[in-house]
Amino acid sequence: MTTRPPAPSRRALLRAMAVLPAAALVLGEAPGLLGTALAAAPAAGSATRYTIVPFLNSNDGTVNVYQSDDATDFRLLQSSAYTPPSNRIRDASVFKHTNGYYYVTYTTHTWQDASTTIGFARSSDRVNWTFLYDYTVPIANLSRAWAPEWFVDSDGSVNVIVSCSVTSDEWIFTPYLLKATNSALTAWSSPVALSGIGSNHIDTYIVKVGSTYHAFTKNETAKYIEYGTASSLAGPYTITRTGDWAGWGSYREGPSVIQLDNGAWRIFFDGYGDGNYYYSDSYDSFATWSAPKALPGISGTARHFTVIKETVTGGPTLTKNATRSFRSGNYTTRYWQEQSALLNLPVVTSSSTTAEKQASTFTVVAGLADANAYSFRDAAGNYLRHYSFRGRFDANDGTASFAKDATFIARTGSASGSVRFESYNYPGYYLRHYNYQLRVEQPDGTDLFRQDSSFVAATAWA
């Protein structure tokens, strides 16, 4: 099954056409991959879930809801999940409150119009949303209040960072802090400008690590996402990285930063000039970043979003130290089978030879590199591993490199009861069949890829 890149979509805005991303900082030896990148397996029976609620490139009057278990392959959970009773919904930011509800706050008007309010809605299930209210940001001579972003501090206080401009210069934005003064999130403190970031910055997103606040903010003059730190949420911030410091290129905005299971930090941002949506990872506390990649599937469709991460129950599990055969999720007569040390997907039936049935039977064991993950052993004691992205069986040579190659993370498959296997040392790459051969490849965001990479653990043939 062939994979196709998502079609680019041009963003119509008042800014000029973007330039392409500059050369990026990449760690490790594999092109485009971080050598230290390792997927982390959730505990058995649990799963990591990432949720985004973006508005659409084709429609800023509604939002879709997408979810992912690896922060890369986002699947549509609900289309047109929330449409406000009036106005628009842009730049939606989402978080889960201590009361169990999910909340979004958003820009209420298009970029052409004056916009003195930000909107609020909530949901108990991320699918069904209820409008709460539009809040007029109390700034004198306010022209526009854009891109409100949730920030929950380590003391539990709930805040919104909103970019505001005044009528005397409607295109010069300054980030302001609003703090909720009640748990219902219906009352807010007076706006306070974030000190140190300065005017003409927009889409400021903040994460806290230890006692330090880290701000990612777009310089609207230079069109780059800049970076600064502070010891207090309100600042003063010291901007230490400007220009194309991370290799993301110019005309990037709407940053959202989340920590992955493996400890890496991932930034998502809207490449509005070229119509793509990108992500990039850092393994050294924001100093260097991987080359930006377009998000598969939703790049060119989704616009300006933030991400929430949760640990949920119901993740896929396999019985370890048990023999199983693995059936394709979408070619139900085809099974994993070792052929000349390579893993293929031929038809296997009750009429198959004993040798064919034996070659289609494997022992599931704890992952060689992560006991919460899985490895697969053939009858001769060799392990399934990827080699030049091809699935094959080799004897364990005892090296850490082999252990990583032979370890796979179980992720939820496309159909009930099916499982997808993510490479441990190539996060975001999945074991999938292509021309009935098993390879590890990065998803393209299509349902077809998810089906090709979904397998059912069946009763062993031998």
Question: pLDDT tens, position by position, for the chain (462 residues)?
Answer: 333 233 333 222 222 222 222 222 222 223 333 445 899 988 878 899 999 999 999 999 999 999 999 999 999 999 999 999 999 999 999 999 999 999 999 999 998 999 999 999 999 999 999 999 999 999 999 999 999 999 999 999 999 999 999 999 999 999 999 999 999 999 999 999 999 998 999 999 999 999 999 999 999 999 999 999 999 999 999 999 999 999 999 999 999 999 999 899 999 999 998 999 999 999 999 999 999 999 999 999 999 999 999 999 988 989 999 999 999 999 999 999 999 999 999 999 999 999 999 999 999 999 999 999 999 999 999 999 999 999 999 999 999 999 999 999 999 999 889 999 999 999 999 999 999 999 999 999 999 999 999 999 999 999
Instruction: Say if 11 falls within a structural domain.
Output: no
The answer to whether position 37 is within a domain reads: no
| CA–CA distance, 36 with 202 (Å, rounded to integer) | 32
CA 423 vs CA 224, 313, 391: distances in Å:
33, 22, 11
Based on the fold, state whether residues 234 and 336 are members of the same structural domain.
no
429-455 per-position pLDDT tens digit: 999 999 999 999 999 999 999 999 999
Q: Are 369 and 404 in contact, with CB atoms under 8 Å apart?
A: yes
φ and ψ of 331, to 5 deg: -130, 85
Q: Are residues 297 and 333 in the same domain?
A: no
Residue 454 and residue 353 share a domain: yes
Interacting residues of 183 by C-beta distance below 8 A, sequence separation 6+: 98, 99
Which of 263, 281, 313 is the C-terminal boundary of a domain?
313
In a domain, 129, yes or no: yes
CATH of the domain at 328: 2.80.10.50
Regarding whether 173 and 102 lie in a shared domain, the answer is: yes
Instruction: Examine residue 15 and state whether it is found in any structural domain, yes or no.
Output: no
Q: For residues 20 and 36, give the distance between their C-alpha atoms in angstroms, rounded to a whole number.
A: 27
Q: Examine the domain organization and report whether 244 and 273 are in the same domain.
A: yes
CA 132 to chain centre: 27
- Of the candidates 248, 251, 255, 210, the one whose C-alpha atom is nearest the C-alpha of residue 229 is 210
Residues 80 and 181 in one domain: yes
Tokens 């003064």 identify what position? 181
120-162, pLDDT tens digit by residue?
Answer: 999 999 999 999 999 999 999 999 999 999 999 999 999 999 9
> Residue 70's closest CA among 302, 245, 307?
307
| Cα dihedral 48, 51, 57, 62 in deg (nearest 10) | 150
Residue where a domain terminates, one of 285, 313, 341? 313
Is 14 part of any domain?
A: no
Per-residue DSSP letters for 97-119? -TTS-EEEEEE-S-TTS-B-EEE
Beta-strand runs (E) in 153-288? 158-166, 169-179, 192-193, 201-209, 212-219, 224-230, 238-241, 253-259, 265-271, 276-282
- Specify the pLDDT at position 340: 98
Report how many domains make up the chain.
Answer: 2
**Half-sphere exposure for 433 (CA within 13 Å, toward CB):** 22
Kindly report the pTM of this predicted structure.
0.88
pLDDT value at residue 36: 59
The answer as to whether 33 is a domain residue is: no
Domain presence at residue 245 = yes
Residue 437 CB-density burial (10 A; 0-12 exposed, 13-18 middle, 19+ buried): middle
| 303 and 327 together in one domain | no
| Predicted pLDDT of residue 102 | 98
User: How many residues does this entry show for the chain?
Assistant: 462
What DSSP character marks residue 400? H
Same domain, 307 and 329: no
Other beta carbons within 10 Å of 459: 9
Contact 428, 50 (CB under 8 A): no
Burial class (CB in 10 A: 0-12, 13-18, 19+), 185: buried
Which of 263, 283, 313 lies at the terminal end of a domain, its last residue? 313
User: What pLDDT does 7 receive?
Assistant: 31
Q: d(Cα 51, Cα 36) in Å, to the nearest integer?
A: 25
What is the per-residue pLDDT for 37? 81
User: Is the domain of 226 the same as that of 257?
Assistant: yes
Domain that holds residue 84: 46-313
CA angle 267, 268, 269 (to 5 degrees): 120
Residues 297 and 384 in one domain: no
Q: Can you give the CATH number for the domain in which 165 is found?
A: 2.115.10.20
Q: 3-class SS at 211?
A: coil
The CA-CA-CA angle for residues 303, 237, 147, to 5°, reads 20
Q: Tell me if 121 is assigned to some domain.
A: yes
Q: 175 - beta bridge partners? A: 163
Residue 28: its pLDDT value, please?
A: 28
| Whether residue 339 sits in one domain with residue 305 | no
Q: What's the pLDDT at 314?
A: 86
Within this chain, do residues 175 and 69 fall inside the same structural domain, yes or no? yes
